[in-house]
Chains A and B, each alone.
Chain A
Amino acid sequence: MATTNAGAPSAPAPARERSGDPIAQGEPAAIPAPPKPVVNDFSIQVATVNGSGSQSANSVLLRSIFAMGVPVSGKNLFPSNIAGLPTWYTIRASKHGYVARKKEIDVLIAMNPETAREDILSLRPGSAAIYEENMNLKQYRDDVVCYPVPFDKLTAAVCPEAKLRKLVKNMIYVGVAAQLLGMDMKAVEDSLRKQFAKKQKAADLNWAAVEAGFNYAAQTLTKQDPFVLERMHATEGKIIIDGNAACALGAMFAGVTLVTWYPITPSSSVVEQLIDFLKKYRVEPDGKASFAVVQAEDELAAIGMVLGAGWAGARSMTATSGPGISLMAEFAGLGYFAELPGVIFDIQRVGPSTGLPTRTAQADLLSVAFLSHGDTKHPILLPASVKECFEFAGAAFDLAEQMQTPVFVLSDLDLGMNNWMSEPFEYPEKPLNRGKVLTAEELKKAGEWGRYKDVDGDGIPYRTLPGTDHPKAAYFTRGSGHNEKAQYSERPEDYQNLMERLARKFETARTLVPAPVVVQAGKSKVGIIAYGTSDFAVLESRDQLKKEFGVEADYLRIRAYPFAKEVREFVASHERVYVVEQNRDAQMLSLLKLDLAAGETTKLRSVRHFNGLPIDARSVTDEIVMQEGI
């Protein structure tokens, strides 16, 4: 993939364009003049060691930029390890509101001696690097602006307690970066005090460290890189939340009553945060819980409990990742065939097998769509923002009960475990949709009923819940062949009728799932299809394509499987459609092929990204430009 970036806003401008640079004013002539400032449009990478406690510092950096009103996003690239391995945290400030990963790093904060050499070597000319002075990174690059800082010395001065120094040291870099980037110190202090809200002493100590870093930079370092922050008003009223917390909130407001799980990265924090919310907001005045949470013995048990509860009428869910999804396969088929509601959150990570458990991917799509043996397929919701995590969590519970089938919500590590800006979530005003459930009174009126009979022509039958006080309410649920009355049957016509009805039911799902979002630029022949977290990169890439290459691509973002009719229409109305996704095998493209008319499938082209890092706009643009032959 090409590494040039003609037109990328962060490319350093020539030194002579320095007029108007406030920082450069009055500097001695011997120091090279800083280039034209690049305002609110750059990325910072903090390279640390896992377990060194840099999270709070990184969070303060992110929140300070947010507090300055500048659109910002943060990504944690961490190893599958508790302590000791390298980890990187990337922050992107973007006045345009771009939140995809930016390939290029503009400001490096190198705190990990193990990776420091590699880290600085990966920078482009004109970037900046802040590092512990005795690492002497200058020796590797004379085309990078170097800011050596005596971190240990500064830390020792503000933190007499040796034990705490490892943690406090991180706040020194916050101060240095704040000074060099022109951060509003009020914003930094507010963010820091919010971070340590319940720990006054820790807040004071950390703030002293930030100030020490700031003062050191102010007195000793000379700003020579172009990257600066300036106050904006683009984040007012917005919230910051991770996707897993958003899923958890969505589930709580959807009235979930049974939550089962078996811990696995990156899904654990869905349930961990949900437990916190439920304990806070779903314990009744008499101290009793309107929910149950069970840490199951494995994912087989987790899904078994979900389906058992769904059968008995409770809103139930579990959260897992790829390996757990694999274990759920047999039960997923039972859920489909016996028509049992349940919600499964799959926070995708990199497979196959254990794969890269702390990296992101969109590679469970096909295995989830057809999870289990026989002719099985499942509705899937595909959120692409924290707001959609919240909304689709709610939609998933409605859909599962409406459709009487397991519904999967496919998020991923990038969305789930990173912090994102968002408009505040809206309170769900629509009442819960509990689906077609017959009560004892309704049974009395109806007389006869058949559990698996398609009364309404939508493929969705009626069910009763255990405990319904009517002698005809009961039926026998089984994963073996059954007729409309839920009786055991191996008759060919019974089986075929059942399978055809299930297919009809799946057709109904097309009309019930969230419709795609379509952005038509005009009469373009080129279309892009993406889903989930590939959205951020595609949005930015479309701007790049337009600005740099004059290509105005239309865009359709798929939000669910089965596909709504708009998807077919979109493909039909374009000559070439690029399907952008984060897996090797073009899984969404394959799924689309199964759904499109034969003549349409040849229009599909694939843009894939599968190295474990979130997809970036430049990669999408480069690939489309290449395939377009521009």
Chain B
Amino acid sequence: MAAGTVTNPGPKVNRIGLPVIEYRGSKTTLCAGCGHNAISERIIDALYEMGVQPERVMKLSGIGCSSKSPAYFLSRAHSFNSVHGRMPSVATGALLANKTMMGLGVSGDGDTASIGIGQFVHLMRRNLPLIYIIEDNGVYGLTKGQFSATADIGSKLKTGVVNDLPAIDTCSLAIQLGATFVGRSFSGDKKQLLTMLKAAMAHKGTVMLDVISPCVTFNDHEGSTRSYKYMQDHEEPIGEVGFVPSFEEIDVEYEAGSSFDVEMHDGSRLRLKKLPENYDPTDRAVAVKTLMEAHEKNEILTGVFYIDTQKPAFTDLLNLVDEPLALLPQERTRPGKQVLDEVMAKLK
């Protein structure tokens, strides 16, 4: 069935001959209207459009409504729903075991910014090739609506409780710590999110995407800063995100100046247009400063803030053999008898 040839008239297929249905998952059990569902849809679209072979993907997640969502896309890929806040370590182990796989991690704002902040921080600094998506609703959905650490100060719960602690900005944090592709989007912004996900799939290194994803059950009311309404009023794209995958012809026309054209690892092109003047997405300090300033103005900035295609990925730093460690035959993992004899002789 994999990459099979298609006979007319069949369903529309992608470049590896698969219809979009092959990228779907089980039926969602999340609330109708939950932002997380929209993100799953965009992930399906991105995988389909990029022509990713489903079996070449590993889906990883922690615990939360968000972390359940890998069940709702790409059933043909292995998936690991781990423990709360610890997906980064599981992903690290899995990707070191098989570095030839695409790693797709889904987390929540609670899963990442509270219980999992330690692992998150260290994942970012290792630059493990992994797409790390935070489905960010500002609350703990699964435990029924307590504030998370990404909730904005002054934001109000349905019960009237007001958050009096400042939010952790996972994007600034990721940029400072060494992630090499950092952006924010909104589950309701189909075009931008899809483009960013596709670009993420062409990047080699840690991609950190914070996707604002309203929780219709616990955080979509007046006074919330993670509601659909609030996002419609306050989303401020930092620029336009364009993406040309490696398998599509690259059009030559591209105006320098306020635009940025980045060649990705696989030859794809990420095109950041209409950026503010002097905005250099390869300059960390500029990126962090811009994020902080937007925050002061109560704007939720979206788009790709930072990109670095030069920094070596963790798998490169470790200088691993080309084949997956998991699949090495015994001849390559168990040294011969002469090695043991040599060691024993030294110990006599």
Bound Cα distance from A470 to B54, whole angstroms: 10
User: Contact between A314 and B81 (Cβ–Cβ < 8 Å)?
Assistant: no
CA distance A469 to B54 in the complex (A): 9
Nearest CB in chain A to that of B63: its residue: A479
On whether the beta carbons of A477 and B55 are closer than 8 Å, the reply is no
Task: Please name all residues of chain B whose beta carbon is closer than 8 Å to the beta carbon of A314 when the two chains form the complex.
Answer: 93, 96-98, 324-326
B contact residues around A309 at 8 Å (CB): 93-94, 96-97, 325-326
Q: Is B332 an interface residue (CB 8 A)?
A: yes
Contact, CB under 8 Å: A290 / B78: no
Cross-interface CB contact of B89 among A237, A308, A315, A425, cutoff 8 Å = A308
The yes or no answer to A288 lying at the interface (CB within 8 A) is yes
Q: Does A28 contact B (CB under 8 A)?
A: no
Evaluate contact between B330 and A480: CB separation under 8 angstroms. Answer: no
B330 touches A479 (CB 8 A): no
Cβ contact within 8 Å between B58 and A477: no
Identify which of residues 76-126 in chain B touch chain A, using a CB-to-CB cut-off of 8 Å. 76-83, 86, 88-98, 100-101, 118-119, 121-122
28 of the cross-chain contacts (CB-CB < 8 Å) are: A241-B347, A257-B326, A257-B328, A282-B333, A289-B319, A289-B321, A291-B325, A304-B90, A305-B89, A306-B93, A311-B80, A312-B95, A312-B324, A313-B326, A314-B97, A334-B83, A428-B334, A431-B330, A432-B333, A465-B98, A466-B77, A467-B55, A468-B55, A471-B22, A471-B76, A473-B78, A477-B78, A477-B79
Find residues 452-485 in chain A having any chain B CB closer than 8 Å to their own CB: 464-471, 473-480
A316-B97 CB under 8 A given contacts A257-B326, A311-B80, A471-B2: yes
Bound form: Cα–Cα A459–B78 in Å: 22
The CA of A503 and the CA of B49, in the complex, are separated in Å by 45
Interface status of B252 (Cβ within 8 A of chain A) = no
| Cβ contacts under 8 Å, A129 to chain B | none
Residues of A within 8 A of B81 (CB): 476-480
Q: Once the chains are docked, how many angstroms separate the CA of A256 from the CA of B319?
A: 16
CB-contacts of B313-344 with A (<8 A): 318-322, 324-328, 330, 332-335, 337, 339-341, 343-344
Is B39's beta carbon under 8 Å from chain A? no
- The CA of A266 and the CA of B137, in the complex, are separated in Å by 44
Which of A293, A466, A468 is B94 in contact with, Cβ under 8 Å? A466
User: Which residues from chain A contact B93 at a C-beta distance below 8 Å?
Assistant: 258, 260, 304-312, 314, 316
**Would you call B75 an interface residue if the criterion is a C-beta within 8 Å of the partner chain's C-beta atoms?**
yes
Chain B residue numbers with a CB within 8 Å of A432 are 330, 333-334
Residue in B closest to A303 when the chains form the complex, CB atoms: B89
B78, A427: Cβ atoms closer than 8 Å: no
B92 / chain A contacts, CB cutoff of 8 Å: 294, 301, 304-305, 308
Q: How far is the CB of A397 from chain B (nearest CB, A)?
A: 10
Asked if B71 lies at the interface with its beta carbon under 8 angstroms from chain A, I say yes
B97 A304 Cβ-Cβ under 8 A: no
Q: Which of A90-98, A246-254, A546-554 contacts B (4 or more CB under 8 A)?
A: A246-254
The answer to whether the Cβ of A370 comes within 8 Å of any Cβ in the partner chain is: no
- Assess A466 versus B98: contact at CB under 8 Å? Given A258-B325, A475-B78: yes
Chain B nearest CB from A451 CB (Å) reads 10
A290-B333, A314-B325, A466-B78 given; 7 more Cβ-contact pairs under 8 Å: A255-B334, A277-B343, A288-B321, A298-B118, A309-B96, A424-B347, A475-B78
**In contact, A476 and B94 (Cβ under 8 angstroms):** no
Query: Do residues A312 and B118 form an inter-chain contact, with CB atoms below 8 A?
Result: no
Contact B340 A308 (CB under 8 A): no
- The reply to whether the CB of A17 lies closer than 8 angstroms to some CB of chain B is no
List A517-540 residues whose CB lies under 8 Å from chain B: none
Closest to A440 in B: B55
Which residues of B are found within 8 Å of A254, using beta-carbon distances? 334
Distance between B161 CB and nearest chain A CB, rounded to angstroms: 29
Q: Is the CB of A292 within 8 A of B90?
A: no
Does B348 reach chain A (CB closer than 8 Å)? yes
Q: A254–B78 Cα gap in the complex (Å)?
A: 26
Q: Which of A239-272 contact B (CB under 8 A)?
A: 239-241, 249, 252-258, 260
Task: Please judge, given known A-B contacts A469-B2, A471-B1, whether A292 and B96 are in contact too, CB under 8 Å.
Answer: yes
Q: Are A257 and B80 in contact (CB under 8 A)?
A: no
Whether B327 pairs with A313 at a CB distance below 8 angstroms is yes
- B71 x A476 contact (CB < 8 A): yes
Determine the residue in chain A with the shortest Cβ distance to B327.
A313
Instruction: Specify which chain B residues have a CB less than 8 angstroms from the CB of A312 in the assembled complex.
Output: 58, 93-95, 97-98, 101, 324, 326
How distant is B23 from chain A, measured CB to nearest CB, in Å?
12
In the complex, A160 has a CB within 8 A of chain B = no
Contacting residues, chain A, for B334 (C-beta < 8 A): 253-255, 428, 432
A240, B348: Cα distance in complex, Å: 6
Docked CA distance A471–B19 (Å): 14
Verify B122–A301 contact, CB threshold 8 A.
yes
Contact residue range for chain B? 35 or more
Complexed CA–CA distance, A290 and B83 (Å): 29
Q: In the complex, what distance in Å separates the CA atom of A255 from the CA atom of B326?
A: 10
Asked if B82 and A292 sit within 8 Å, CB to CB, the answer is no
Residues of chain B lying within 8 A (CB to CB) of residue A424:
344, 347-348
Q: Tell me, in angstroms, the Cα distance from A222 to B26 when the chains sit together.
A: 88
Bound form: Cα–Cα A289–B332 in Å: 10
B318 cross-chain contacts in A, Cβ below 8 A: 289, 292-293
How far is B332's CA from A258's CA once the two chains are assembled, in angstroms? 14
Is A344 at the interface (CB under 8 A from chain B)?
Answer: no
Residues of A within 8 A of B289 (CB): none
Q: Once the chains bind, are B83 and A471 in contact (CB under 8 Å)?
A: no
CB < 8 Å neighbour of B55 from A257, A258, A281, A474: A474
| Residue B56 CB within 8 A of the other chain | yes
- Say yes or no: A284-B1 contact (C-beta < 8 A), given A304-B89, A308-B80, A309-B96: no
- CB-CB < 8 A to A330: which residues of B? 83, 86
**For residues 201 through 259 of chain A, which have their beta carbon under 8 Å from a beta carbon of chain B?**
237-241, 249, 252-258
Chain A residues lying within 8 Å of B333, measured Cβ to Cβ, are 255-257, 282, 290-291, 315, 432
For residue B94, which residues in chain A have a CB less than 8 angstroms away from its CB?
308-309, 311-312, 466
B82→A284 contact, CB < 8 A = no
A331 contacts B by Cβ under 8 Å: yes
A residues 118-168 with Cβ under 8 Å of B?
none
Residues of B within 8 A of A471 (CB): 1-2, 22, 54-55, 76
B256 CB, nearest partner CB in chain A, Å:
40
The answer, yes or no, to whether A488 is at the interface (CB within 8 Å) is yes
The smallest C-beta distance from A360 to any residue of chain B, in angstroms, reads: 22
Which of A304, A310, A427 is the most central at the interface, judged by chain B CB atoms within 10 Å of its CB? A304
A313 to chain B, nearest CB (A): 3
Partner of B332, one of A290, A310, A469, A475: A290
A114 within 8 A of B: no
A287 to B322, CA, bound (A): 11
> Considering only CB atoms, which chain B residue lies closest to A256 in the complex?
B333
On whether the beta carbons of A301 and B320 are closer than 8 Å, the reply is no
Which residue from B56, B82, B95, B332 sits with its C-beta under 8 Å from A334? Answer: B82
Kindly supply a per-residue 1/0 record for chain A positions 423-437, scoring 1 wherever the CB is within 8 Å of any chain B CB and 0 otherwise.
011011001100000
Contact A467 B71 (CB under 8 A): no
Interchain CA distance A249-B343 in the complex, whole Å = 9
- Evaluate contact between B347 and A239: CB separation under 8 angstroms: yes
Known: A257-B325, A477-B80. A308 touches B91 (CB 8 A): yes
Residues in chain A near residue B324, CB distance under 8 A? 312-314, 467
Shortest beta-carbon distance, A211 to chain B, in Å?
A: 25
CB of A300 within 8 Å of the partner chain: yes
Chain B residue at smallest Cβ distance from A315: B333
Using CB atoms, name the residue of chain B closest to A316. Answer: B93
Question: B340: nearest residue on chain A (CB-CB)?
Answer: A427
User: Do residues B319 and A258 form an inter-chain contact, with CB atoms below 8 A?
Assistant: no
A296 CB–B CB distance under 8 Å: yes
Contact assessment for A297 and B96 in the assembled complex, using a CB-CB cutoff below 8 Å: no
The digit string for B7-37, where 1 denotes a CB below 8 A from any CB of A, is 0000000000000001000100000000000
Q: Which residues of B contact A466 (CB under 8 A)?
A: 58, 77-78, 94, 98, 101
Known contacts A471-B2, A479-B81, A301 near B328 by CB under 8 Å: no
Least distance between A148 CB and chain B CB atoms (Å): 37
Closest to B125 in A: A297
In the bound complex, residues from chain B placing their C-beta under 8 Å from that of A284 are 321, 332
